[in-house]
A and B are shown apart, each in its own frame.
Chain A
Amino acid sequence: MPNPKTLILIDDDPLCIKIIEVICKSILPDINILIFTDPKEGLAHLLRIAHGELPHCIVLLDLNMPKLSGWDILAALESKKEQFMQKCTLYIISTSLEINDRLLAANNPMVSGFFEKTITRLNLQHILR
């Protein structure tokens, strides 16, 4: 039996997290979900993963957050890029319609995909596969 998957959600919007959480659990009932509404705490956790202390995981990262944006978190991980990429598959979830954000995401090797909110069941099935 394979290890249950771990999903990390970093988003300051609790309602959005709740929605994702509910859908994900309906797709994979034994999924392990870690929630960070404070992006600082989220970053600290991601750094621990990059250091190899924790098993592989899937990350959903919001961009627009106070104090620390999604881009700030990615910039902080830059020095641990290789280790991080081995341990994590990271997707961006955002309300942004800016082409610039999509271009930045496409050019960042740490980012595996960009999903516009509202994220659908179909999207999440793809991510969790």
Chain B
Amino acid sequence: MVSSAEETCIECSNANKNLLLLTSQINKAIIRIKDESELFAEICRLTVEIGRNAVSWVGQPDKVNKNFNAIAQYNATDEDKFQLGSRKYDPNGPTATVIKTGKFYISNNFKQEVWDEPLRNYLWQRGFRSYLALPIRKYGIVEYTLNLYSANANFFSDEQIQFLEGISDDISYAIDNIENEIQKTVADNQLREMSSLLQRTESVTKTGSWKVNFESGISYWSDEAFKIYGMQPHGNKMSYIDWVTLIHPDDKKTVINIDNEASKTLSDTVKNYRIITQAGLVKFVQTHAYYELDENGKPIGMYGLVRDITAKNEMEEAFRQSEKNLRVMVDVIPQPIFLKDLSGNFIYANKSYCDLYGKSVAEMNQSNWLNMEVPNVDRDRIIKDDNDTINSGRTKKINDFPFKDHSGADRYFDVIKTPFQMPDKTMAILGVLNEITERKQQDIIKSELLNDLTIQNKNMQQCSYIISHNLRAPLANILGICNILTEAKTSTINTGQFINGLALSAEKLDNVIRDLSTIMQAKESNIQKDNIVFQQVVDDVKLSLMQVEGYSDTEIKCNFEELESISSIKSFVHSIFYNLISNSIKYCRPGVAPVLEITSRKTKNGYELIFTDNGQGIDLKKNQDKIFELYSRFDTSKDGTGVGLYIVKTQVEALNGQITVNSELDHGTTFIINIKQ
């Protein structure tokens, strides 16, 4: 049959046209439809309406239970749906083969098929003669089958199969894309959610994040990071230089140094510094920075966080300032204040307290009182007072507490100790010291002054007593003799012997009045001072002693190298030298030539004169108190008045000095005169 051949040929060409149209339509559907089931439904429609198949199915085989599940169809009857829509598939049948081989399965004549007899019978009765199953892959694995049924036997030519295989690949590609799209959307949504969460978190915690890529040199900053720096987010890009310009000038150097140091070791850093926003606002920020390394350990970037700690910092600063102010206030207080725990560790000590020990505040805060060197302080008493305070739970006052400070100065304090509860509920001792040294010293001076006055008063009394005796004794004698002379007319008394006594008494009276005059002058120190050369004084005294018995044997050794001259009252110095030298001559040891040594010495606050002789000495055990008393005499065998040493003492005291004596019977005498200038 020619016509049949021609027809076939025309059919062929028609079939080809159809296949091209089908491919084109499916490709359009692939581009247009972004939903898997919608795409499958359209493919089923196109394969029937353009591909001239009787029925078209897309199945999703359950590979575990070997079930064929139709997920799309076109032109299927209800019976078809019932028979073909969901069924077990034969392990050797088309579905299993397509899954196993990944290739199409063709059956152009059902009668020859060996699989699933009930299904084959149904298809035959339904009038289907040809069948093609094509694999549809998702990510390279057969997940679906496209099943085409035709009423014509041998409907699927090789050429047609080839086209359809191409179409199935295209669909697989489209499925991949759809799946990609779905997953991308999910990822995008997740990313968006995460990003939004991060943004909220950053906003709430006032923490921004950032990242730098070294190759590009560009930083990516989060919105919050920009907000902290007082900037509008702008493309989230920020360079290192841009960032550095925002740092407070006072902190810039430090921050850059930290970064430079960290870059050498690639270590993490935490930096606290100030920034100045474009609006001129100063903020405190804290930046954490970490290096990002590649697989070779080479730094490729950095990332980190930035936090606005202005509020925290201001609070801390306010607290610090308030503590500092308190410290200054307490340090200014002149009263020493301390706080120590029960083991003796100092918790706090103000400057005044630290000064007592010559320590700095920092040193003191690391000291333990029990381990400290505190010489000449009653430690046991301090420990007892501390214990009393804690045990009683009451404030304890300790008055007149003596304390030798680090410079060795004696000081006195009224101390108040009170129990003090620390924030951790442990107990400590708070002490406040009130210095009373000045008052105490004045008390001492007053008491010394009073003592001096008492002694002076006693001396004056003694003096007046002695003078009255010494004046009255000759006077009484004169009166007595007068009585006798008056009676002489009427008695037989020999009056001649009393004339001499009368003269003697008058002379004594005169001597006493002379002594008195000398004494009065010796108490007067407001006399003009002259420069006095000691050697000159000694020479003058020697001259006036020429006539004295025993002088010619006397040797006087002078030692005035250390101090040759002084400024003083000439008559006093002469009198002192005269009396002491003449005493040494007068009271020499019988048979021993007098030797007198006179030495002058400088002292811390004046000078000292030492007179040492080899004379008979004085028994000081008996006479210590009396030696310098007026008319006090120890050796009445020698001619003397008992005025000399009294005058010496009076004059030494008038020169603001003191005289002391060392002596022993038969071993000489030493007088030491100490004058303060």
Q: Check A19 against B477 for contact (C-beta < 8 Å).
A: yes
Q: Which of A9-43 contact B (CB under 8 A)?
A: 12-13, 15-16, 18-20, 22-23, 26
Residue from B468, B476, B491, B634 whose CB has the most chain A CB atoms within 10 Å:
B476
What's the nearest-Cβ distance from chain B to residue A99, in Å? Answer: 12
What's the nearest-Cβ distance from chain A to residue B326, in Å? Answer: 68
Distance of A20 Cα from B493 Cα, bound (Å): 12
Q: Check B468 against A95 for contact (C-beta < 8 Å).
A: yes
Q: Check A67 against B636 for contact (C-beta < 8 Å).
A: yes
Q: Check B484 against A19 for contact (C-beta < 8 Å).
A: yes
Q: Mark B604-643, 1 if CB is under 8 A from A, else 0.
A: 0000000000000000000000000001111010000010
Stretch at the interface among A53-61, A74-82, A117-125: A117-125
Which residues on the B side are within 8 Å of A95 (C-beta)? 468-469, 472-473, 476
Question: Does A103 interact with chain B (Cβ within 8 Å)?
Answer: no
Distance of A98 Cα from B585 Cα, bound (Å): 37
A16-B476 CB under 8 A given contacts A64-B469, A98-B465 = yes
A118 contact from B469, B483, B497, B636, Cβ within 8 A = B483
Closest to B487 in A: A121
Closest to A20 in B: B480
Question: Does A4 interact with chain B (Cβ within 8 Å)?
Answer: no
Q: Check B477 against A13 for contact (C-beta < 8 Å).
A: yes
Residue from B472, B501, B642 whose CB has the most chain A CB atoms within 10 Å:
B472
Closest to A38 in B: B636
Question: Does B654 interact with chain A (Cβ within 8 Å)?
Answer: no
Q: Mark B564-583, 1 if CB is under 8 A from A, else 0.
A: 00000000000000000000
Q: Check B479 against A66 for contact (C-beta < 8 Å).
A: no
Q: Mark B471-495, 1 if CB is under 8 A from A, else 0.
A: 0110011011101100100011100
Which residues on the A side are within 8 Å of B642 (C-beta)? 66
B476 contact from A22, A98, A118, A121, Cβ within 8 A = A118
A15-B504 CB under 8 A given contacts A95-B472, A120-B483 = yes
Q: Check A26 against B491 for contact (C-beta < 8 Å).
A: yes
Q: Check A15 against B505 for contact (C-beta < 8 Å).
A: yes
What's the nearest-Cβ distance from chain B to residue A116, in Å? Answer: 8
Q: Mark B324-341, 1 if CB is under 8 A from A, else 0.
A: 000000000000000000
Q: Check B487 against A97 for contact (C-beta < 8 Å).
A: no
Which residues on the A side are within 8 Å of B468 (C-beta)? 95-97
A119-B480 CB under 8 A given contacts A13-B473, A15-B501 = yes
What's the nearest-Cβ distance from chain A to residue B456, in Å? Answer: 19
Q: Check A16 against B636 for contact (C-beta < 8 Å).
A: no
Q: Check B483 against A117 for contact (C-beta < 8 Å).
A: no
Distance of A118 Cα from B469 Cα, bound (Å): 12
Residue from A15, A23, A95 whose CB has the most chain B CB atoms within 10 Å:
A15
Q: Check A19 against B481 for contact (C-beta < 8 Å).
A: yes
Distance of A16 Cα from B473 Cα, bound (Å): 8
Distance of A21 Cα from B493 Cα, bound (Å): 11
Main DSSP-derived SS at the A contact region: loop
Q: Check A19 against B636 for contact (C-beta < 8 Å).
A: no
Q: Check B477 against A96 for contact (C-beta < 8 Å).
A: no
Q: Check A22 against B484 for contact (C-beta < 8 Å).
A: yes
Which residues on the A side are within 8 Å of B501 (C-beta)? 15, 18-19
Distance of A117 Cα from B475 Cα, bound (Å): 9
What's the nearest-Cβ distance from chain A to residue B656, in Å? Answer: 31
What's the nearest-Cβ distance from chain B to residue A7, in Å? Answer: 16
Q: Check A66 against B636 for contact (C-beta < 8 Å).
A: yes
A16-B465 CB under 8 A given contacts A66-B636, A95-B473 = no
A117 contact from B465, B476, B497, Cβ within 8 A = B476
A18-B465 CB under 8 A given contacts A23-B484, A26-B491, A95-B473 = no
Which residues on the A side are within 8 Å of B476 (C-beta)? 16, 95, 117-118
Q: Check B472 against A97 for contact (C-beta < 8 Å).
A: yes
Q: Check A118 against B477 for contact (C-beta < 8 Å).
A: yes
Distance of A93 Cα from B469 Cα, bound (Å): 12
What's the nearest-Cβ distance from chain A to residue B231, in Å? Answer: 107
Q: Check A117 against B472 for contact (C-beta < 8 Å).
A: yes
Distance of A87 Cα from B504 Cα, bound (Å): 36
Which residues on the B side are within 8 Å of A23 (C-beta)? 483-484
Q: Check A15 against B477 for contact (C-beta < 8 Å).
A: yes
Q: Mark B499-534, 1 if CB is under 8 A from A, else 0.
A: 001001100000000000000000000000000000
26 pairs from A and B in contact (CB 8 Å cutoff): A13-B473, A15-B504, A15-B505, A16-B477, A16-B480, A18-B497, A19-B480, A19-B484, A23-B483, A23-B484, A26-B493, A64-B473, A66-B634, A67-B634, A67-B636, A95-B468, A95-B472, A95-B473, A95-B476, A96-B465, A96-B469, A97-B468, A97-B472, A117-B473, A117-B480, A121-B483
Q: Which 3 A-B pairs have the closest CB atoms?
A: A117-B476, A95-B472, A19-B480
A26-B491, A95-B472, A117-B480 provided; 20 other pairs, C-beta below 8 A?
A15-B501, A15-B504, A16-B473, A18-B501, A19-B477, A19-B498, A23-B484, A66-B631, A67-B636, A95-B469, A95-B476, A96-B468, A96-B469, A97-B472, A98-B465, A117-B472, A118-B476, A118-B480, A119-B480, A121-B487
